[in-house]
Amino acid sequence: MALDDNFQPTRRDALIGGLASGAFAIAGPAFAQAADGLAAAISLAPPRDDSVVQTFHGINIPDPYRPLEDTARAEVKTWIEGQNARTRSMIDALPVRQRLQDFMNAALDYPRTTIPGQYGRRYFSFFSDGLVNQRSVGFQEYLAGPRKTLIDAGALSSDGTVAILSFFPDRVGSKVAYLLSEAGSDRETLHVRDVETGQDLPDVLAWCKHTTVAWARDGRSFYYSRYPGDTEPADWYRRSQIVCQHRIGEPQSADRVIFRQSARHDYYCQVMASPEADLLKIVVSIGTSEKAGYYVAPLHDASDITEIFPIGIAGFYPIANVGATHYAITNLDAPNFRLVRIDQADPKPDRWHTVIAESDAALNAAAVFDSKLVVKHYRDVNQRVAIHDLNGQHLSTIDLGGLESVAFGRYFRGDDHLLLEVNDYKRASRIEWLDLESGKPSLFRASAARHSLADVVVDQVFVTSKDGTRVPMTLIYRPGIARDGNNRTLLTAYGGFGYALWPYYSDRIAAWVRMGGVYALASIRGGGEYGQPWHDGGRRTHKQSSYDDFIASAEWLIGNGYTRTERLGINGASNGGLLVLATMLQRPDLFGAVVSAVPVTDMLRFPKFTFGINWIPEYGDAESNETDFKTLLAYSPLHNIRKDVKYPPLLVLTADNDDRVAPAHSYKFVATLNALSPESVVYLGVERRAGHGEGNALSKSINRDCDTLAFLCDKLGGPMQELPKLAPA
């Protein structure tokens, strides 16, 4: 929904495009073997071979399958189509595939809605009914009133591939700016709809991607972030966002640019509005770095911009302001984050007042009311919500029932309540009404989900990694399973960009567990479960720690009798896709099957593709930094395939319109593995008119899940329980 003074992202939500990638070792025999193998495979490339060799810091790196980066070439299209047809033939022939499809379709056939947010007298929310492919936008004239459809996503395309990624009502709820994307792309177009008439205004704005909107107080204009377009000077860097003011009814060419960082590259901006204080707020990040800058300007005329906190110093996430007093979550001098209060007239860090001090639990979010604060901390992959007074004194801890994750709804400082979206491993999300005076939650809107895991076991265990670090892992399984090593087990993780794995319900997990499997989620380093040190411990030169943690988790599952190698599958997407490929290559003896979705595989060239340059703060840059090159080369999946080693059965899934992680990463990896290890079983699946994940049609997301589980069930074997038959909706 909107980002404004009463609806704040968490500190990690402020980083857009979170994704991780891999690297590759340079030392001695390992590198020599990889390089020799790649060179020997050049003649085996299915598409035309350009015999490309690139030199990094004096080391020649063959790149024989670089032609696969150009999907416009006829021979590349033919190769992709052949690989995909082979994969579809294999998966569609698996009997369990249709059973999974039937269960997933039935389980997801229920109405869903987000927390309603108030703008003026109206309440706005995303909603979807049953198996429709995309969420629509609706509004209510009062909180308990009937919902009216404002933007029907089903009317935007015939195939369900046009998505409403976000929407931004104006202050009084009379107009809504909204962003559309097609076929899963991160590219967006910005539209404006009049709420009274239900019709779009003529305004259609281009060059949007990861765009946010902040309305002026009078609703006649808004500020928005975008990338430079054709009307901007040719010397403006096209990969850095600018902030513009758009006046309703005027052409985009008339927009006024009010913020641009000419001295920095690869940054993007979030804009928020505080109408009561007449403030425009701008948060600026370089790539996916958490070290954000914070700027403010008068909302009525943003000509005079004031820097509150500079870019590149520390993690900084503004959450609210009361007039010229600003509240922010920061890791400056507090690796686990603290909540500070800042005077706009004297914003130097040594003048900040700490409201919620750093503790052993990572601070993640806060909401500021007239007399109270509601704060959220991570604790061992759980989220805890508490109420404090404005001086930070703890008043009460909210009991939401156990392991859960919590999202805050939009609020006003004078409210006596806060709406919470609560999720856990056993049931789909519900909305709770938190009474600020009593500190008691009560159910506001129950989930209408048709299936739950109320009867299963959810355990949290701790695994000792290679260097002695304790790594949390959550296990989900049917009660009474035998610890005889025979359980079909699926291990997954993410481990990047400071993004934490929190408790959530998933019909994909439900299907796996109902079929008799054990589901394991490892909260490895690189994530944000334990604050900045946990993130830093698994990125750049420390990235191998993520893989060590994941390997230790797999060994723990085997050593404690939950499974054995032949029955242990691993799966990850995006940064997690890199994770499972890197660990498979390092320990092919440990896993029975692997599914990697939308992975980064070429760690030496990832900045060359689409959004990749923004990941340099996470992974480093092989081209400009020799230390980064050596680190990345040590684990880069594309460069660590060993000739004639037989790897576990592998399914690599990508999408033809993924403009966050270019599908060429998947194509080049599969071609290389086929050439160097012809004894290995590897399949490539390519979803059409789909992207990285966000904005994909629901049917395509279900397909990806069903393909993943069907492949793993087939390759891992073991007894198969029947999936439950769900009653019609």
> For 555-587, b where at least 16 C-beta lie within 10 A, e where not — what string?
bbbbeeebbeebbbbbbbbbbbbbbbbbbbbbb
Cα separation, 5 vs 3, in Å, equals 7
**CA 519/CA 513 separation, integer angstroms:** 7
Contact 668, 68 (CB under 8 A): yes
Is-contact 194 203, C-beta < 8 A? no
Phi, psi of 508 (to 5 degrees): -65, -45
Q: Do the beta carbons of residue 114 and residue 123 sit within 8 Å?
A: no
Of 574, 636, 666, 677, the catalytic one is 574
Cα-Cα end-to-end distance for the chain: 28
With tokens 């063959």, the residue in question is 62
For residue 283, give every residue at least 6 positions away whose Cβ sits within 8 Å of its Cβ, in sequence order, or none.
14, 269, 270, 272, 292, 293, 294, 295, 316, 317, 318
Cα separations (Å) of 486 from 489, 518, 551, 711? 9, 10, 19, 18
Q: Which of 210, 377, 665, 692 is catalytic?
A: 692
Neighbours of 352 (CB within 10 A): 20
**Residues whose CB falls within 8 Å of the CB of residue 350, separated by 6 or more in sequence, listed in order:** none
Q: Residue 433, class by beta-carbon neighbours within 10 Å (0-12 exposed, 13-18 middle, 19+ buried)?
A: middle
Alpha helices in 20-117 (DSSP H): 28-41, 74-92, 95-107
CA 467 to chain centre: 28
Residue 135 identity (one-letter amino acid) = R
> Is 574 among the catalytic positions?
yes
Active site residues: 574, 692
